[in-house]
């Protein structure tokens, strides 16, 4: 049906809630790319087969990633009137145990890892078992040491991830989806821009530029046509947050784009996505189709005079294409190389028109800000970094995955409370924040917080939220050379400092690792880094030496082992 009024949106919401809370058991199976890599498709097939074999009536729903990547395949069982029980490491062989317990209205205790309510709040209590091993007391959670994983998180952006079917628009609406759009269409565009500005939202990629200032510039820019761009050019190795998020909750990004188009006077939005993000591409494309079919996209959105067209542009995934001007060049069909600024994209961007570029997480924040208000959003986070931040925990950490915390959360809480500490019981040696462009911080700096300015002042960056944890056996010289090789491969080669400087630094690191290094080589690395950080054409070259400089500063002993 076409939605033209808030009342019709409410009708669809009620329909969706019947899917989320049916009168029979609902079984959610996490089916994002990370889940499929661990065999989630086999688990889902086994559940469907076993339900028929055991004659159990239940809905089996493929959902996105709920962040428990360390426990995949993940299955959620929701019995009517009772909280959800989350099972981890569910292979096809474990499925019968879960379904046998479900048939009895019990919990397969050896597989259950968390118990949460409808809003994904962790429920705790003393657990009570019956003689057959099933749980008698549903006020309990098991095991208790997993409570901190969700208790320390604040899921605002990830509120739907892993709970709804990403390919069913009615389930998104059932969770309050598109209510922000309905509210925004009754507001003046300038009021929306003002709300985004007052919220304190900073762009969730790179250096955290204030989103409100960018929106103000685009709103004031003169032009007969304006464009929006959603940047999904996620080139950092081993992160994939934006891919996972689009696979789990594509409509939240789409809703943010529609609100942004109305506020800034744009009629066309481009989503630049890596061509190997096939599942994210499939689910976002379906979100566009379903929203258009319901009158939430296209002409006369929700009966208004505003219309927006969303187009998808597939790209090769080069890291440099995350830079705004290189991204624009790719969409226009040119080589992905950065251009000197000014003019800035908000004045002269895509096809020479005013353009507002934000990444996936930034656009996903917009519906929340509009629906709950800038005052509410501004109350979350630290003094200069507001809201929450999605982080990708990777490396030598016990519980890798996608998490969300308030800005201002100490790194040690993220690593030890949420991440479960260092894998294998080893000690923490280093933390890299902000992807390959971020610095490597020593264990002594784990009291720093998730904050743009604090991490920048410490010689690192928050960036898009990648966090790589390294144990006490990690060779920091090898890590520095790995990321240097990454930048050598990813440099577009346009400017001399980056093109030549990175190759020279890579060669020096090779000499050191081969046992032919000298103490003077460390001075040479720092000397070469200066023109890169000062004269490179874009942020790739300016930040490329950071891993080397930070390891020389904080882990000099690792270099001296090779040199001596």
Neighbours of 464 (CB within 10 A): 29
SS3 of 330-399: the string is HHCCCCCCCCCCCCCCCCCCHHHCCEEEEEHHHHHHHHHHHHHCHHHHHCCECCCCECEEEEEEEECECC
The stretches in the chain having pLDDT less than 70 are 114-148, 238, 317
Instruction: Return the ∠ at Cα 313 (arms to 540 and 294), rounded to 5°.
Output: 130
CB 458 within 8 A of CB 446: no
CB 433 within 8 A of CB 455: yes
Q: In angstroms, rounded to a whole number, what is the distance separating the alpha carbons of residues 72 and 404?
A: 18
Who's near 91: CB < 8 A, 6+ residues apart?
39, 42, 43, 73
373 three-class SS: coil
Place of tokens 């190997």: 276
pLDDT of 192 reads 98
Closest CA to 176 of 378, 25, 32, 370: 370
Who's near 273: CB < 8 A, 6+ residues apart?
232, 233, 246, 280, 281, 284, 312, 313, 314, 315
Give Cα 505 to chain centroid, integer Å. 31
Who's near 105: CB < 8 A, 6+ residues apart?
79
pLDDT of 119 reads 54
DSSP 129: B
DSSP 28: E
Question: How confident is the model over 64-73, as pLDDT tens digits?
Answer: 998 989 889 9
CB 540 within 8 A of CB 490: yes
CB 273 within 8 A of CB 314: yes
CB 214 within 8 A of CB 228: no
526-533: long-range contacts, CB 8 A cutoff, minimum separation 24: 526/552, 528/501, 528/504, 529/501, 529/505, 531/497, 531/501, 532/497, 532/498, 532/501, 532/502
List the structure tokens of 390. 């999605």
Question: How confident is the model over 316-357, as pLDDT tens digits?
Answer: 767 887 789 989 999 999 888 888 888 999 999 999 999 999
Place of tokens 């971020």: 438
Closest CA to 248 of 316, 155, 126, 184: 155
**What is the chain's percent helix, strand, coil content, to nearest 5?**
45, 15, 40
CB 214 within 8 A of CB 197: no
pLDDT of 118 reads 53
Q: In angstroms, rounded to a whole number, what is the distance separating the alpha carbons of residues 102 and 79?
A: 8
Strand order through the sheet with 268-274: 309-315, 268-274, 227-232, 355-359
Give Cα 26 to chain centroid, integer Å. 26
pLDDT of 300 reads 94
Q: In angstroms, rounded to a whole number, what is the distance separating the alpha carbons of residues 456 and 215?
A: 24
What does pTM read for this prediction? 0.92
CB 321 within 8 A of CB 336: yes
469 beta partners = 395, 431
Q: In angstroms, rounded to a whole number, what is the distance separating the alpha carbons of residues 471 and 378?
A: 36
**H or E element, residue 198:** helix 189-199
Domains in the chain with CATH codes:
22-117+121-146 (3.40.30.10), 169-378 (3.40.50.11540), 388-471 (3.10.20.600), 476-563 (1.20.1440.230)
Place of tokens 């009754």: 186
CB 294 within 8 A of CB 2: yes
Label the pairing between strands 466-471 and 428-433.
antiparallel
Q: In angstroms, rounded to a whole number, what is the distance separating the alpha carbons of residues 274 and 404?
A: 24
List the structure tokens of 548. 């080397």
Give Cα 168 to chain centroid, integer Å. 21
231 beta partners = 272, 359
pLDDT of 172 reads 97
């Amino acid at each position: 049906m076409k939605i033209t009024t808030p009342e019709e949106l409410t009708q669809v919401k009620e329909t969706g809630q019947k899917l989320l809370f049916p009168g029979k058991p609902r079984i959610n199976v996490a089916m994002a790319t990370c889940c499929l890599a661990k065999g989630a498709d086999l688990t889902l097939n086994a559940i469907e087969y076993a339900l028929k074999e055991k004659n159990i009536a239940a809905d089996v729903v493929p959902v996105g990633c709920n962040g428990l990547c360390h426990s995949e395949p993940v299955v959620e069982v929701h019995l009517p009137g009772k909280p959800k029980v989350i099972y981890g490491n569910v292979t096809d062989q474990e499925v019968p145990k879960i379904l046998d317990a479900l048939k009895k209205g019990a919990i397969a205790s050896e597989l259950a890892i968390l118990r949460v309510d409808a809003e994904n709040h962790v429920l705790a209590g003393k657990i009570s078992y019956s003689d057959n091993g099933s749980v008698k007391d549903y006020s309990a959670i098991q095991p208790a040491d997993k409570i901190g994983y969700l208790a320390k998180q604040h899921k605002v952006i990830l509120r739907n991830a892993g709970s709804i079917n990403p390919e069913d628009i009615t389930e998104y609406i059932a969770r309050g989806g598109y209510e922000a759009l309905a509210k925004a269409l009754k507001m003046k565009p300038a009021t929306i821009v003002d709300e985004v500005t007052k919220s304190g939202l900073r762009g969730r990629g790179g250096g955290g530029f204030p989103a409100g200032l960018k929106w103000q510039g685009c709103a004031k820019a003169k032009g007969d046509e304006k464009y929006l761009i959603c940047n999904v050019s996620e080139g950092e190795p081993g992160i994939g947050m934006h891919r996972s998020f689009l696979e789990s909750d594509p409509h939240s990004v789409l809703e943010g784009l529609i609100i942004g188009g109305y506020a800034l006077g744009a009629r066309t939005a481009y989503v630049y996505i890596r061509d190997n993000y096939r599942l994210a591409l499939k689910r976002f494309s379906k979100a566009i189709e379903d929203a258009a079919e319901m009158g939430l996209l296209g002409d006369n959105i929700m009966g208004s005079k505003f219309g927006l067209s969303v187009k998808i542009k597939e790209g090769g995934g080069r890291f440099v294409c995350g830079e705004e001007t290189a991204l624009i060049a790719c969409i226009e069909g040119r080589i992905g190389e950065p251009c000197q600024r000014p003019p800035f994209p908000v004045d002269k961007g895509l096809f020479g028109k005013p353009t507002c570029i934000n990444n996936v997480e930034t656009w996903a924040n917009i519906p929340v800000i509009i629906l709950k208000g800038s005052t509410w959003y501004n109350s979350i986070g630290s003094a200069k970094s507001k809201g929450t931040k999605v982080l990708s925990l990777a490396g030598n950490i016990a519980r890798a995955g996608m998490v969300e915390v308030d800005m201002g959360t100490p790194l040690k809480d993220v690593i030890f409370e949420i991440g479960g500490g260092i894998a294998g019981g080893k000690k923490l040696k280093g933390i890299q924040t902000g992807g390959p462009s971020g610095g490597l911080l020593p264990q002594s700096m784990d009291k720093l917080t998730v904050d743009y300015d604090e991490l920048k002042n410490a010689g690192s960056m928050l960036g898009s939220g990648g966090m790589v944890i390294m144990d006490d056996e990690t060779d920091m010289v090898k890590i520095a050379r790995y990321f240097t090789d990454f930048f050598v491969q990813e440099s577009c080669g346009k400017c001399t400092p980056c093109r030549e400087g990175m190759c020279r630094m890579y060669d020096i690191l090779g000499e050191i690792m081969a046992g032919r290094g000298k103490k003077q080589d460390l001075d040479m690395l720092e000397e070469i880094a200066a023109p890169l950080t000062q004269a490179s054409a874009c942020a790739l070259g300016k930040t490329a030496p950071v891993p080397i400089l930070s390891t020389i500063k904080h882990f000099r002993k690792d270099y001296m082992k090779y040199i001596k």
